[in-house]
Structures are given as structure tokens and as C-alpha cells.
Amino acid sequence: MSDSPTNTLNTWVEVPKNSDFTIYNLPFGVFQNKRLSPRIGVAIGDKIVDLSVLDQEGFFSDMFLPEGVFLNESLNELIGLGKVITRKIRERVQDLLLEDNEKLRDHSARGKVMVNRKEATMLLPVKIGDYTDFYSSLEHAANVGKMFRDPENALLPNWKHLPVGYHGRASSIIASGTPIIRPKGQMKNPESNTLVFGPSKKLDFELELAFITGKSTKLGDSVSTADAEDYIFGFVLFNDWSARDIQAWEYVPLGPFLGKNFASSISPWVVTLEALEQFRETGPPQEPEVMSYLKCDKPHSFDIQLEAYIQPEEEKSSKVCSSNFKDMYWNVAQQLAHHTVNGCNINVGDMMASGTISGKERDSFGSMLELSWNGSEVVKLESGTERKFIEDGDTVLMRGFAEKNGVRVGFGELKTKVLPAK
């Protein structure tokens, strides 16, 4: 791969410096505002391109799209049309936004097509059928193993042979901006070692990315690692909220349940696989050798920088960790191949999260569980405020972006405030 940009693209849209939404990105999302009913748009700079208006004005007439496909409240019908179509739509939008292209720039409907992002409310981008959470960061799995089980045998024997995962709950996946309520449940009181019921005292975030499937399989069929990316439409930031005290008490023998299923938050703009192409990387070496259905003949990792911030009420936000998606031991093609190797079918709009993305260094740990080492140490914020876990009134923010040779492709912001238990 060459290190210099192949071609520089310029747009007539004003894109602020360091914007995640450049002409190279063009993520898809669902928005509405005071005037407009829910519809599908593409983000660029501080604007949203209203695809439904572009469609009405005939800009996609050669593609014979289903009527009203951009007036849906989710991306499911659109991404279900397949990658050949969605890629064409994205390329058409990119072409229309190029500096020298006058077709939209000088069109009388331009004002109607370009909507201010600030005035828009972003909705959940997909109707999520099923949600799976993997556990694909070696560093995260090892850290949790050390704390919850045995420091000598932090990784269980299966971990390097298959991408461990569990089936989560789709109903409680919420869009950025929606607050969550502190969960209640059963947990052990660490001092008295007695069983208590009440609000979780160890509410935590998990810094993750999730991919959204755009193609279904039949029950009984499997997806190979070579074909896996045909099934992946794009990615969002994913905060897999976790109550560590509830989780620690309940998770043996069947794994996460109420400690995880009360909420997960996602960023509203779906960054396509096409936009991430130039950030493709080879993942870490896998030793021992994986079984043949998990072998890959091309790289499936992506160099995406990820950050988590805590913002206590009345305070500025403070960065608590930065890690990178490319360090994940298991990649997305292996996750999908493993998920379907037994014949489990997938549908358009399924969400598969990576698992907490932790790096090797202390400041790259993607959860408070790891950053505070299960509450045994404090995490100091810039203001001097201290945290071990997330408190009521705190807002957790996540950001993610890829940047190379002056090209930036990012996810925008994922923001969730924590409200007291009911």
C-alpha cells in the first residue's frame, strides 16, 4: 500500500478542520428535526445531505431504488439492497459534493438538500434484530481474568482458539444522547460478604466498536472469512454499559445477564467499510495457529483511534483512555465466520460488538474496571475529581477516528448521561 494519498478530494461544502465527517467519510444515519419527519441522510462537515430530497429531485433515478427508501425510520431496507447499491449511492453523493461538480452545488434545491446537523436529532440508525458481544481484545480478557478469576491463568484455554462471545439484548440498545438509569440488582457486599439488593455501585462503560450486517444468511449456512466483509455494512461506536458488582455475582455458570442487558449506547452515524478501506491493517500475530475456518487471506483489522471521556456534572470532560481497534486479537471476518460456522443465521441489521478494546498500557484500558483495577485505585480527572466507577450525573463520551496522510474518517461523538436508580 502506498503511503501517499492516491487522490485528494475537495468539496464545495465547508468542512471544519478536524471534522470527522469529511468528503472521504460520508457515513449514513437517520435524522429528524422540527420540520422534517425521520429520514436518511449522509453527514458532511456540519451538514446532513437529505437523501430523500436528492431522490425526489431525481439524482438517483438511474438506480431504480424502491420508492421512499430514504424516508424510512431505519437504514435496514436501504442496506438490505446490498453493497453494490449502497456503494453506488455513497459514490454518487461523494461525486455531487465535489468542488467542481455544479449539479447539486448550483441546483435550486440545494438549500433543501443540505440540513444543519446542529438542528437535527439523530435516531437509532438501524432496527437491531440481534446483538452479539465478542470478547476479542487479549489485553481486556487477560485483565478481567486476572481480577475475576486467577492471575496465573488469566486466559481460559479456549480463548486463543475461538473468538469468545455471548448473545446480548437488542431491545436496550439506545442512540447517543439518551440517558441511562443506574441499574439495580443482586450483588455481594465486599466488606461483609453478604448478599444485598440495590443500585449498582460499580457502574462501568466498555469502549467498543460494533459492526452492522447488511446481508442475511439462511439457517444452516456459514459465512467464510473470505466472504465476511460482504456482510458488513459499517461500524458505530459502542458503549457496552456494565454493572460490575451485578456481573461478578451472576456470571457463573452462564455468563453475562442483568449486569449487561440494561443498556448499550451507540453513535448515530454508520461509517461504511468503504470509508475505512485506506486504514486497513494486519492484526497481531495469532499463536497457536487457528483452525482453517478462522484463517484469513487478507488483513481485516483497521487503524481506528478510540477515546473515552468522563464528564461529571458541572465539569469539563476529561479523557480517561485511548486505545486502538487494530490491536484486537480477533478480527471482524473471524468473528462473523465463527458466529455462523454452526449454521446460526444472521439478518440485516444485526449488531456485533467487538468487546472492550484495551491496549497494553495502563491509559489504554477501555473500562473503569481495568483503569481502577476493580476499584482498588482511583482514576484522577483533569479537574482533580476522582473516580473508580461511573457516578450519577456523569456523562461518558466516546470518540473514534482514523487519520492518515491528511485524510480523516471519524465516528463523531457517543454521549450518554447516567441518571440515579429509580
Instruction: For Mn ion, give the closer residue by CB, 79 or 203.
Output: 203
Show the binding pattern over residues 191-210: x = contacts Mn ion (CB under 5 A), - = does not.
---------------x----
Instruction: For Mn ion, give the closer residue by CB, 240 or 370.
Output: 240
**Nearest approach, Cβ of 261 to Mn ion (angstroms)?**
11
Cβ contact 48:42 at 8 Å: yes
Alpha carbons 203 and 259: distance in angstroms, whole number: 9
Give the binding-site size for Mn ion (rule: CB under 5 A): 3
Amino acid at 104: L
250 forms part of the interface with Mn ion (CB under 5 A)? no
Q: How far is CA 48 from CA 102, 111, 120, in A?
A: 18, 11, 9
From the list 343, 332, 338, 344, the residue with the least C-alpha distance to 294 is 338
**Nearest approach, Cβ of 131 to Mn ion (angstroms)?**
10
**Nearest approach, Cβ of 357 to Mn ion (angstroms)?**
10
Instruction: For Mn ion, give the closer residue by CB, 251 or 293.
Output: 251
Stretch that binds Mn ion, among 44-52, 235-243, 300-308, 375-383 (CB under 5 A): 235-243
Instruction: For Mn ion, give the closer residue by CB, 94 or 367.
Output: 367
240 forms part of the interface with Mn ion (CB under 5 A)? yes
Q: How far is CA 242 from CA 149, 194, 200, 248, 337, in A?
A: 18, 21, 10, 11, 27
Q: What is the DSSP letter of 170?
A: S
Cβ contact 166:251 at 8 Å: no
Instruction: For Mn ion, give the closer residue by CB, 47 or 338.
Output: 338
**Nearest approach, Cβ of 127 to Mn ion (angstroms)?**
21
Stretch that binds Mn ion, among 127-135, 186-194, 223-231, 344-352 (CB under 5 A): 127-135
Residue 100 main-chain phi, psi, to 5 deg = -90, -5
Cβ contact 247:241 at 8 Å: no
Return the residue nearest Mn ion (CB atom). Answer: 240
**Nearest approach, Cβ of 135 to Mn ion (angstroms)?**
7
Cβ contact 386:145 at 8 Å: no
The answer for residues whose C-beta is within 8 angstroms of residue 69's C-beta and 6 or more apart is 40, 55, 77, 78, 81
Q: How far is CA 405 from CA 5, 6, 299, in A?
A: 6, 10, 20
Stretch that binds Mn ion, among 106-114, 147-155, 233-241, 270-278 (CB under 5 A): 233-241
From the list 328, 334, 333, the residue with the least C-alpha distance to 364 is 328
Stretch that binds Mn ion, among 36-44, 118-126, 128-136, 221-229 (CB under 5 A): 128-136
Instruction: For Mn ion, give the closer residue by CB, 23 or 390.
Output: 390
Give the CB-side neighbour count of residue 70, counting CA atoms within 13 A. 23
**Nearest approach, Cβ of 335 to Mn ion (angstroms)?**
13
**Nearest approach, Cβ of 24 to Mn ion (angstroms)?**
29
Show the binding pattern over residues 18-57: x = contacts Mn ion (CB under 5 A), - = does not.
----------------------------------------
133 forms part of the interface with Mn ion (CB under 5 A)? yes
First-residue to last-residue Cα distance in the chain = 54
The set of catalytic residues is 140
Task: Give the 3-state secondary structure of residue 148.
Answer: helix
Stretch that binds Mn ion, among 92-100, 120-128, 131-139, 197-205 (CB under 5 A): 131-139
Of all helices (H) and strands (E), which one includes residue 136? none
Please report, as residue ranges, which positions from 361 to 400 form the binding site for Mn ion (by CB under 5 A).
none
Residues lying near Mn ion in the complex (CB under 5 A) are found at 133, 206, 240
